[in-house]
Structure 1
Amino acid sequence: MAVFKIVHITKYQYNWPIKESINEIRLFPHNFDNQKVLEYHLMITNNPEVILSEDYYGNRVGNFNSFEAHSEMTIESRMLVKVNHSLKIPEIDYTKVEDLVPLYEKSIILLRLSYPEIITKQNEILSILDKIGCTDKPIIEIARQCNEYIFNNFEYTKGITNIETTVDEILEMKKGVCQDFAHLLLQLVRTAGIPARYVSGYICPNKSGFRGEGATHAWVEIYTPNQGWLGLDPTNNIWTMDNHIKLSVGRNFYDCTPVKGIFKGIAKQTLSVCVSIGYEDGHQFEEINDVQLQEVTVEFQEQLDSIELLHQQQQQ
């Protein structure tokens, strides 16, 4: 059992004031069998009203608007979470892909989570599965070997991908971070016929030195009728454990994005995310990441340049 105090701060900054910011957040940790939320607090710039709801996958979602002009917005999420599932090595389970077919007649969600994306390099996915050898193997073993394949053949490298990076690009580069490896694992296991979902959360630091620890993290859960959802972390080639804290689940990153929104105004935005994790013994870990956002269009960049030039002329 482990108890973690997590502070997640998302900070948007704009080089010119913007207005009418409309936002959606998934920053509420899950309560489930082996994870209990003891405390939770949410603080947002200008203290807007947050309307709570539940999405298709059971995640708690918050929506809020900020209509006043502003050049900065901070969203601070504080939580105290107790986790108790150790390193959960699945029990011996002989369920095979063909055994899952009856489940799809009863659950639309499981059926939805079993479809892979349509990608250009699907032949490479099939080639990987052929190397692994998925014929007549339990689904747990197929998933474990896919997890291991990613860990051994793809390099963990920060700063070369962003939230728009596709599975095709990951297959081309053979590099990426936790989000990329989670999407790749989803493509593999779903192609093999196994229902799986993307998980957004945190991996808390420990003496093992896991990759991706101390920041927002992503992994995958596969479904077996005998044991329910089982977590696999391809970034570290492990089954999920006490150090994994779940925030939200979905088909992919877009279903689980911690913060997303739109605004009115012509301004360039920057995004930084700070995650601080504290232990019961007082030890604390903090990491700050400048998030790579989608590049703006040429037309939008020209508008930004025009405003900057006009401002410089007015200052002369």
Structure 2
Amino acid sequence: MQLSIRHETRYSYSAELGYTIQLLHLTPRVEQHQHVLSWQLSAAGNMHAFADAYGNQSHMLTLSRPHNGLTIVAQGQVETRSPARGRIANGDALSPLVYTVPTRFTSPTHGIRELAALSLPHGKAQTAQLLSLAEHIFGAVRYQSGATEVDTPASDALDMGSGVCQDHAHIFLACCHAQGIPARYVSGYIDPGDSEHAASHAWIDAWATDADYEGWVSIDVTHARLMTDAYCRLAVGRDYDSAAPVRGVRRGGGLETLAVQVKVLQQ
């Protein structure tokens, strides 16, 4: 499948500011099942490209002259194919055990541990069991845009019974962490088709131990299904903090208004 993607992030400020720094994960990862045909990343300021600790294509953006706003645009075409049975080649330098450590978003609570025990044994899980967990989360936490904030932990979203794809991913990670199973956060894009869900998306990779395979399996928790060629992967990490498309800080500026537009079309 060929996906045409445009992602615009626009910050507006109520007062002039003199310094902004942003960490960008807005360039698709180099992986076997996706190939970038063309890609452009544009913004005012200076951009320094590098690969982060998780192997993500990253940029550090700094703008040190007076400004009242900042617009970041990422766009291009990516050719994708479905990984067989959701299996993602493990080309990472990091051990999967890096992804067993809970974070501020994924700390297991009693409720998380109860949910995890419905599907997962301790230490190892088969793909079918991981998909069963996704189905349990899908049933326990309905998709509701605006129900949570970007800093909402998995336990709060589970208690509320509503959230978005980020929350579904964090709950899944927290359950895996509770059972000692490696799992990591994935940020990227999805061709939404007729779905109500946004084109900017979050899902997970979990470490599966099947009879014929041991390695990463990519699962969309919000849809309780394996990843297909409708997905483009930007970044992986322990949670939203380490894989977010855009994160940063500023000096001054007063009140901030953020507008994000993402379009993903199948060519």
| TM-score normalized with structure 1 length | 0.76
Residue 98 of structure 2 is aligned to residue 112 of structure 1:
yes
Match of 1:82 in 2: 79
Alignment-derived partner of residue 201 in structure 2:
217
* Aligned equivalent of 1:57: 54
- Sort the Cα spacing of 1:210 and 1:268 in 2 relative to 1 into closer, same or farther, 3 A: same
Task: Give the distance between the partners of 1:108 and 1:63, measured in 2 at CA.
Answer: 22
Mapped pair 1:4 → 2:34: no
Aligned pairs for 1:242-257 within 5 A: 242-257=229-244
Q: Alignment identity in percent? A: 28
Q: Deviations over 1:245-280 (max 9, x none)?
A: 100000000001111222221510011111122332
Query: SS of 1:205's equivalent?
Result: coil
Higher helix share: 1
Taking structure 1 as reference, are residues 23 and 143 closer, same or farther at Cα in structure 2, changes over 3 Å only? same
Inter-partner Cα distance in structure 1 for 2:119 and 2:55: 33
Q: CA deviation at 1:211?
A: 4.8
CA RMSD of aligned residues (A): 2.2
- Contact 1:212–1:235 at 8 Å: present in 2 too? no
Contact 1:200 1:249 in 2 (8 A): yes
Equivalents in 2 of 1:121, 1:191: separation in Å? 6
Q: Which amino acid aligns with 1:166?
A: P
Q: 2:182 aligns to what?
A: 195
**Which runs of at least 4 in structure 1 moved beyond 6 Å after TM superposition?**
118-121
Q: Secondary structure at the match of 1:165?
A: coil
Please tell me whether residue 261 in structure 1 is matched to residue 262 in structure 2: no
Distance in 2, matches of 1:122 and 1:150, equals 15
CA contact (8 A) 2:49 2:60 kept: yes
Post-superposition CA distance 1:146-189 (Å, at most 9, x none): 10101112111111211111112112101000000000000112
**Shift in CA distance, 135/161, structure 1 to aligned 2, threshold 3 Å:** closer
Amino acid in the other structure paired with 2:38: E
**Which deviates more from structure 2 when the two are superposed, residues 131-140 or residues 53-62?**
131-140
1:135 and 1:128 mapped to 2: Cα distance? 13
Find the counterpart in structure 1 of residue 172 from structure 2. Answer: 185
Gaps of 5+ in 2: 88-92
Separation in structure 2 between the aligned mates of residue 50 and residue 161 of structure 1, nearest angstrom: 31
Residue 31 of structure 1 corresponds to 30
Distance in 2, matches of 1:133 and 1:278, equals: 36
The one-letter code sitting in structure 2 at the alignment partner of 1:212 is H
Q: 2-side partners of 1:123 and 1:174: how far apart? A: 15
Structure 1: gaps (5+ residues): 92-106, 281-316
Aligned residue number for residue 12 of structure 2: 13
Q: 1:36 to 1:124 in 2, by over 3 A?
A: same
| Partner of residue 174, structure 1 | 161
Compared CA separation, residues 125 and 14, structure 1 to 2 (3 A): same
The residue number in structure 2 matching 1:235 is 222
Cα 1:42/1:268, change in 2 over 3 Å = same
Residue 238 of structure 1: how far off its partner (Å): 0.7
CA distance in 2, matches of 1:90, 1:263: 39
- Local SS of the residue matching 1:129: helix
Give the TM-score taking structure 2 as reference length: 0.89
Give how far 1:108 is off: 5.6
Larger C-alpha radius of gyration, 1 or 2?
Answer: 1
Output the amino acid matched with 1:17.
E
